[in-house]
Structure 1
Amino acid sequence: MAETKQEASSQPLHVLVFPWLAFGHMIPFLELSKRLARRGHAVTFVSTPRNAARLAAVPPELSARVRVVTLDLPEVEGLPDGAESTADVPPEKVELLKKAFDGLAAPFAGLVEEACASGGGAAGFSTKPDWIIQDFAQNWVWPIAEEHEIPCAIFLILPVAIMAFIGTRHENEAHPRTTAEDYMVQPPWIPFPSTIAYRRHEAEAIAAAFRPNASGVSDIDRFWQMQRPCCRLIVHRSCPEVEPRLFPLLTELFAKPFVPAGLLLPDDAVDDDGPGSDQSFLAVLQWLDAQPRRSVIYVALGSEAPVTADHIRQLALGLELSGVRFLWALRRPVGHAGALLPDGFEARVAGRGVVRAGWVPQVRVLAHGAVGAFLTHCGWGSTVESLLRFGHPLVMLPFVADQGLITRAMAARGVGVEVPRNDDDGSFRGDDVAATVRRVMAEEEGEALARNAKELQKVLGDRVRQEQYVDELVEYLQRYK
């Protein structure tokens, strides 16, 4: 007897989840996987061996429903040995990582074929996958999914604004962008005022994403493959409260549903395990405990922003000149072996500034009462974590991709201030860092920024509503499978 529509919509799903090889992608994909598992669905999480080993463990109560399957990344000439994520390579070698990633097409096809032939296959589940939820980069998944009649969804860990800026292939052909200036204005297919445009130095970088790289295909062409019929949903780590008007606009523009998954904040607000949770971080926590409430600015530019040695020197100069207390999670640029900080810097800021070169438990730091603001590259994950969970105003220093768009949007909301940059080459001066830090931490303007940040936190920090977005996503998965 055929099952009814209602019975089909209540059946547990088996979802194959496959993120791009960057921790800023893998971590939200894992958060989404855990939320699906908590709702009774089975998840096969696909990555490479080293990345799987470095990700946080799946909670024991979910281990029966979340299985991690690894595929060996093929060797590519020029890619360092053992490099399996963007955190392992300098920015100029990320395109080689994409080339290696494309080499996973055949083993992934084998995994899917086995899963379809034996129910759950190597993943250990008893059912054929109902969905493949993939990232932007796998333009080679579509024929595999079509062969086995498995619908796909794209899960983008980026804000919806980036897709609004990119637009469809048709819109780009109708409104070609051929100069840097074309990327510095709002696209004509956005019919209302917005902050969706890039500065000159950012525009030149985003224009490069429209050109083929060492993998033989451009990043934007990878995005545009989502317009194929077997891609039925585009899911974003976002929600209408933080990006009003864009979800319905893009649903109409791309002629398929753009669905919010919510912000997917981890359940535990203060405890993140890792090497920074050991005794080596104890002295830093003790120093934080001794500082006045909301007097410290936390400084972290993410694990993958293309930060140079000169950026670090100017940032050090700015923190020194600001006179503000700070905790700096300093990441050495990949491949840089020389001195980074100016001579005598740590001695001159001793007592009011701490530089931590090792891993930092960021959530724990942001939750600390001594922290009053965040100097950030405005990656979406860090922005969500600091502003929307803890209500910290931002000092914003964007570098790539969506970070400039996020920075403009947060400035328009009155929750942060951008460090001035040279518009041609993106360089910045220590003096401007110092002045921006003081604006947020030590001047009257900072009080207004802090109030606005707390108000936005109240709106976006509704855990019940955030979980409802996941429930609604599951309804879409049931309806469109």
Structure 2
Amino acid sequence: MAVPGPKQQQEEEASATPLHIVVFPWLAFGHLIPFLELSKRLAARGHAVTFLSTPRNIARLPPVPEGLSGRVRFVALPLPAVDGLPEGAESTADVPPEKVDLLKVAFDGLAAPFADFLAAACAGDRSAGEHEGFGRKTDWIVLDFAHYWACPIAEKHKVLCALFHIATAAMHAYMGSRQDNASNPRATVEDFMPMPRWFSSPPSLAFRRQEAAWMAGVFRPNFSGVTDAVRVWRVQHHSRLLVVRSCPELEPRALPLLAELHRKPVVPAGLLLPADHRRDDDGEHGCHGSSGGSEVAARSGALRWLDEQPSGSVVYVALGSEAPVTAEGVRELALGLELSGARFLWALRLPSGATDAAAPPLLPDGFEARTRGRGAVCTGWVPQTRVLAHAAVGAFLTHCGWGSAAENLKFGHPLVMLPFIVDQGLIARMMAERGIGVEVDRRDDGWFGREDVAAAVRRVMVEEEGKMLALNARSLHEVVVGDDGGRQERYVDELVECLQAELRRGY
């Protein structure tokens, strides 16, 4: 057996040494949760992870499994007050859409406390945590799109940065680099509807007008003084690696294109799918349904209601925590579910500041009485993973947020798709291209009616087309996830190898 040389021994020792990785997500739960899932997987592989956010956001995160708690520490940075930003608002869930720019102003005020934190972390404070990794200088900082000011601070301490894209590779390839946009400028909403010239794709992979209008806003000045596009470009420019919550099985063309556009290594982290288990004390929330509207724990109530339904007969309806659904949209969705004749379990998000008592007025008069026995409406927290895993669920009506769409791949359900903003429309078209779902028809301004909802639900749940959609969804599940989910976990192993390899290259 050959004796390893000094260089090989040094590399093996470096690979075996726990990394100290700082992760710092944007102030939105659609970002906080994927960063937390990544943190847990890094910790499970023996690395020390410092999770930075604001006090209230940290308090609202789900707990880290007991076995990993010694390797994940949470550090709260105080969010500065900004005129016009509601007191206690620390995430996009706390503010209406028109005040998100104020949240960015407050977020930019975290530069100074972040600099103080990193200086202390790089000094190797061994009292910072029990795990030996916290006692070493920070090796990596994993940043989000908004942190354009963090990279210069990291450079002062010679700490490597990686940008973690929580959205699809296709979304970021669509955005392109600063140079691509300078050479091929997009000015009007119509310019933002098709895929750009540098992204060869089917004509169906495009944004609708109301979606393109939102995308155009990413490239335009906002109250913070820095466009979202410029934020992303600056972080990308200073990052050694671009990490994407995706995998080649889903995006075989977009991942290499992203590396080509930015001339940097692009590393898929996999989908970071949640674990199957959930705690038994997840809290009690109202669930109104076939029991006549009696309040029960959403965790047990939703699942108990599903236990009474035939296998594969229920469409689970959930539009995420921040989809901009109007009261009119809620009513049309309700009437569409009623018209479809399908069984449904609806996780209905209440308007900001509302209580369970305010839920019934959102729904059409008599809706719950007319659908009693085949429908349930839950206005509190619903255990989505367990619901999607339940045998009674046969389809998922979703806004096509990447988190929900990826989570659904774990269970292989066909989709009824009702996208709103960000990359949701792009994801819906990607899933339609894969033959696993249908979109609710909408007007150019984004309006949809009850008949549109009913028709899409019937196509998936009642008509012959639904059988092929279900078969395709199960096939995609096998390709992307497999029987044991190990395929996705291997991407995290490869990411760790990349982090260690880049660290060996030096700053």
Shorter-normalised TM-score: what interval?
over 0.9
Cα distance, 1:318 vs structure 2: 0.6
Q: Which among 297, 307, 310 is matched to residue 280 of structure 1?
A: 297
Q: Per-residue CA shift, 1:91-120, capped at 9, x if unaligned?
A: 222221111111111111100011112346
Where structure 1 has 5 or more consecutive residues not aligned to the other structure, the ranges are none
- The aligned residue for residue 39 of structure 1 is 45
- The aligned residue for residue 3 of structure 2 is none
- Distance (whole Å) between structure 2 residues aligned to residue 235 and residue 334 of structure 1: 33
> Higher mean Cα deviation, 125-134 or 96-105?
96-105
Q: Which among 209, 229, 242 is matched to residue 220 of structure 1?
A: 229
- The aligned residue for residue 289 of structure 2 is none
With over 3 angstroms needed to count, the CA separation of the structure-2 counterparts of 1:398 and 1:161, relative to structure 1, is same
Cα distance, 1:342 vs structure 2: 1.2
With over 3 angstroms needed to count, the CA separation of the structure-2 counterparts of 1:403 and 1:382, relative to structure 1, is same
Cα distance, 1:352 vs structure 2: 1.1
Alignment of 1:1-400 (within 5 A): 4-119=10-125, 122=128, 125-193=134-202, 195-228=204-237, 230-268=238-276, 274-276=282-284, 280-281=297-298, 282-334=300-352, 339-386=361-408, 388-400=409-421
Answer yes or no: is the 8 Å Cα contact 2:276–2:386 preserved in 1.
Answer: no
Cα distance, 1:7 vs structure 2: 2.9
Answer yes or no: is the 8 Å Cα contact 2:186–2:192 preserved in 1.
Answer: yes
Q: Secondary structure at the match of 2:23?
A: strand
- The aligned residue for residue 465 of structure 2 is 445
Cα distance, 1:274 vs structure 2: 2.4
- The residue identity in structure 2 corresponding to 1:316 is A
Taking structure 1 as the reference length, what is the TM-score of the superposition? 0.95
- Distance (whole Å) between structure 2 residues aligned to residue 351 and residue 169 of structure 1: 55
Answer yes or no: is the 8 Å Cα contact 1:90–1:335 preserved in 2.
Answer: no
- Distance (whole Å) between structure 1 residues aligned to residue 268 and residue 281 of structure 2: 28
Answer yes or no: is the 8 Å Cα contact 1:160–1:247 preserved in 2.
Answer: yes
**Mapped pair 1:413 → 2:434:** yes
Taking structure 2 as the reference length, what is the TM-score of the superposition? 0.90
- Distance (whole Å) between structure 1 residues aligned to residue 378 and residue 222 of structure 2: 35
- Distance (whole Å) between structure 1 residues aligned to residue 184 and residue 112 of structure 2: 36
- Distance (whole Å) between structure 1 residues aligned to residue 125 and residue 203 of structure 2: 47
- The residue identity in structure 1 corresponding to 2:421 is V
Q: Per-residue CA shift, 1:145-203, capped at 9, x if unaligned?
A: 11111010011111111111000000000000011111111211124547542111111
- The aligned residue for residue 424 of structure 2 is 403
Q: Secondary structure at the match of 1:249?
A: helix
- The residue identity in structure 2 corresponding to 1:280 is A
Cα distance, 1:287 vs structure 2: 2.0
Q: Secondary structure at the match of 1:4?
A: helix
> Higher mean Cα deviation, 76-85 or 376-385?
76-85
- The aligned residue for residue 292 of structure 2 is none
Q: Structure 1 stretches (4+) deviating beyond 3 angstroms?
A: 118-124, 191-196, 269-273, 276-279, 335-338
Report how many aligned residue pairs link the two structures.
478
- The residue identity in structure 1 corresponding to 2:169 is V
Answer yes or no: is the 8 Å Cα contact 1:185–1:196 preserved in 2.
Answer: yes
Where structure 2 has 5 or more consecutive residues not aligned to the other structure, the ranges are 1-5, 287-295
Answer yes or no: is the 8 Å Cα contact 1:276–1:361 preserved in 2.
Answer: no
Q: Secondary structure at the match of 2:372?
A: coil
- The aligned residue for residue 429 of structure 1 is 449
Q: Secondary structure at the match of 1:128?
A: coil
- The residue identity in structure 2 corresponding to 1:303 is S
- Distance (whole Å) between structure 2 residues aligned to residue 65 and residue 184 of structure 1: 44
With over 3 angstroms needed to count, the CA separation of the structure-2 counterparts of 1:467 and 1:272, relative to structure 1, is farther
Answer yes or no: is the 8 Å Cα contact 1:74–1:104 preserved in 2.
Answer: yes
- Distance (whole Å) between structure 1 residues aligned to residue 437 and residue 446 of structure 2: 19
- Distance (whole Å) between structure 2 residues aligned to residue 283 and residue 118 of structure 1: 48
With over 3 angstroms needed to count, the CA separation of the structure-2 counterparts of 1:401 and 1:128, relative to structure 1, is same
- Distance (whole Å) between structure 1 residues aligned to residue 153 and residue 128 of structure 2: 17
Answer yes or no: is the 8 Å Cα contact 1:168–1:254 preserved in 2.
Answer: yes
Answer yes or no: is the 8 Å Cα contact 2:128–2:135 preserved in 1.
Answer: no
- Distance (whole Å) between structure 2 residues aligned to residue 343 and residue 167 of structure 1: 48
Kindly report the root-mean-square deviation, in angstroms, between the aligned alpha carbons of the 2 structures.
1.9
Q: Secondary structure at the match of 2:216?
A: helix
Cα distance, 1:90 vs structure 2: 1.6
- Distance (whole Å) between structure 2 residues aligned to residue 246 and residue 171 of structure 1: 15
Cα distance, 1:272 vs structure 2: 7.8
- The residue identity in structure 2 corresponding to 1:111 is F
Cα distance, 1:451 vs structure 2: 0.4
- The residue identity in structure 2 corresponding to 1:167 is G
Q: Per-residue CA shift, 1:116-155, capped at 9, x if unaligned?
A: 1234674662101000001111111011111111010011
- Distance (whole Å) between structure 1 residues aligned to residue 169 and residue 54 of structure 2: 27
Cα distance, 1:351 vs structure 2: 1.2
- The aligned residue for residue 464 of structure 1 is 486
> Higher mean Cα deviation, 88-97 or 115-124?
115-124
Answer yes or no: is the 8 Å Cα contact 2:285–2:379 preserved in 1.
Answer: no
